[in-house]
Chain A
């Protein structure tokens, strides 16, 4: 009960603050002290990593000093390790001596990523991060060298947001690769990435990206605050982060945008939004998020603006269809027969002749079986995926109608609704429509069109009450901002879209000043004729 009610009530800041790094390590019984006697450290580490087959702690000699090279063999690149560390160290067993770790790194391992681990906690962390750790006898710090992680999934086309024209690369699970994909597109020194470690057990790297001279300072502060508040066991996907930073938990509508497309992230960053990358997830979040964001596909900007404006209107209307079509069918066919043209009414009645269920039961059966099919289609191993679609199409499409259990019209309604619900470019938005559809079907079954209208009123009230990081969710439609309409229902040509949306309060509100409208040359090409 208390869990349930805490979903509804606003969070009161009762928690004592999340534990510091030190407290966390203390909980796991890891000492902080790093000794200058390297054997002691080695013993401690071996104790800690006991039973870990890939933990290696190999003695080497650097500049005449006794040292240990420590790493997790599964997390480090073997070639890099032997080329850049082991060979260098063994080639100069009695080389030049050094006074501290930084000096050693300059002498022996230039151009390798490094960190100085000044206490034992850092040492442990470095090993866990897949770095090669060099502990030299007689120094009270260790040097950790970042040598490439093993191979990851190659960059491939995003599987959730496919596109016809436009860049085909998508984010992968590795954080550095994802940041690379964005950096390649925005060569801008003001593009910043702040790194956070989250998760008591997982220590996941989370990066907050923004463009310094565009993103609003207050918004940035709010995002940082919310990220800093996160105290969780483990973060396995950006979805986990999303749940921690939303403004409101009880809502079917997604308040944080997620995408697999780097170009989409760049577009958002350029508007003044912030991107949140989570290591291990190909889905990158952007905040603040607006309702209209979910109707904009990145392809809109690569196709001619007339076409993409049309497609956008199609998306808005298919949202309404996906939401309301089945309920309108229920409402009109059971409450408002007079609304249908006579011919249509007769043919609908002819279809329903002999169907044993009321329209609402019929439609719920069909919608549910469609949901089951869809879920099965997603979860099933790809190999048997075909079976589902064949069985589904036959059972639902044909057999049910032929058996007289459901009417033909209803199959059309459900199928069209299902297709319309796939139009939304972002999956997390289309699942919201899916859920609300059932609510409005019930509402229509009880109260007819009045119920549909009542539902819409409640939904709109709910929508206008939503905020994403303090920005009204329905902006720029409600509150209506005439200046920001150039990229909402229709898209104006890019040369006309000179201003950044003002609802995000960007530091520099103007994208470009010049009038860039293309036109033919004043003089005829090839001289006068």
Chain B
């Protein structure tokens, strides 16, 4: 009897539950990118990019077709639009693999807080997709530019930002969680990466674009966007983005440091290529004479990749000399970028406010509500301490051994 009970309960558990969230893979479309533009008649114009998976199998059953498909709808909330997409698309959409959210300049200037909430709230989205501000063209155009290697546009952008972030530091590496935590913090304002289209966007939509070795249309990284709260207020260039990222969590980068930083001899244009292999950075705010002083301290290791200078790299003095030059070069760059942000935009995107809060909580509380103004006035000190460790597998460069005249 007990056994019968147990069996029937078990049977109920299996037969009456389950299956409710079961979707076969051939009944879904994988959404990889979302693009938000201003609507003509309503608030938003949303374009989704779904993968056409059959293009990725060895035996293409559907013949040649585009690797991805986009569809556009207009409406007043993003979430409604996402559920309404089947007006033109056959399958149910899954968003767990959404990699990039493109936001057009116009929307970003008006504020994006309203639909960011949906993305944060929904359990379907990952919280680590890229947020990209699109410059020039409509955001819609960006999800349509194909690329020969990563055929799905958003996957291409995702991979591109990852590599660029890791190799050179030209992408601020902002994901949804970073964006929201910067938004909610008073001591920091959000940033995000920006994209531009090089070439004709119309040509980029066709797969003929992929047939050439030099593609007609390409989506490129273009530095980053600066927000005041959730509104876009300006841009930094790619180089400035790297300088910004120095103060955050730069891993590796590479730069050309002049052999001589003597301003008087600009005609002697010789450089050494330096790769940074490891950095540890720290933001500090010291409080002297009632005024906060912003301090950036960076330690790290560098390596000489190539040199045009004739200095003898087998000598320790050369290393010391080079180290100083590198440090001065980096410090100047970072200082300039921080100054530019202070003067042109007057918002703290670096997180000095958060650092200040941690170090001098009481003082910070006094200026918390007008921190950005305090930030814009504050003095900046950049302390760079990079060590030159290696110079490849050569000591002296052979250039110095070539007999001249």
Contact = CB atoms under 8 A, between A and B. Distances in A.
Interface in A335-362: 335, 337-338, 342, 345-355, 358-359
A451 interface: yes
B79 interface: no
B367 interface: no
A8 B3 contact: yes
A338 B125 CA distance: 9
A345 B155 CA distance: 13
A346 B26 contact: no
Contacts of B56: 346-347, 350
A421 interface: no
Given A8-B3, A346-B53, A446-B18, A352 B26 contact: yes
Contacts of A352: 24-26
Contacts of A346: 30, 51, 53, 56, 152
A8 B22 CA distance: 35
A353 B3 CA distance: 44
Contact of A350 (B57, B99, B155): B57
Contact of A347 (B22, B32, B57, B94): B57
Contacts of A404: 61
Given A8-B3, A350-B53, A333 B32 contact: no
A264 interface: no
Interface in B1-57: 3, 14, 17-19, 21-26, 28, 30, 32, 51, 53-57
Contacts of B361: none
A178 B358 CA distance: 80
A120 to B, nearest CB: 50
Interface string B46-78: 000001011111000110000000000000000
A354 B25 CA distance: 11
Interface residues of A, number: 28
A349 B53 contact: yes
A100 to B, nearest CB: 62
Contacts of B17: 446-447
A338 B126 contact: yes
Contact of A345 (B24, B30, B55): B30
A334 interface: yes
B318 interface: no
B96 interface: yes
Contacts of A345: 25, 30, 97
A448 interface: yes
Interface in A220-236: none
A353 B53 contact: yes
Top 7 A-B pairs, shortest CB-CB distance: A338-B96, A446-B18, A350-B57, A349-B53, A350-B53, A447-B18, A350-B56
17 contacts: A8-B3, A333-B24, A333-B25, A337-B23, A342-B155, A346-B56, A346-B152, A347-B56, A348-B25, A352-B24, A353-B26, A353-B54, A353-B57, A442-B14, A447-B14, A448-B22, A451-B18
Interface of A: 8, 333-335, 337-338, 342, 345-355, 358-359, 404, 442-443, 445-448, 451
Given A335-B21, A347-B53, 4 more contacts: A346-B30, A349-B26, A353-B62, A358-B24
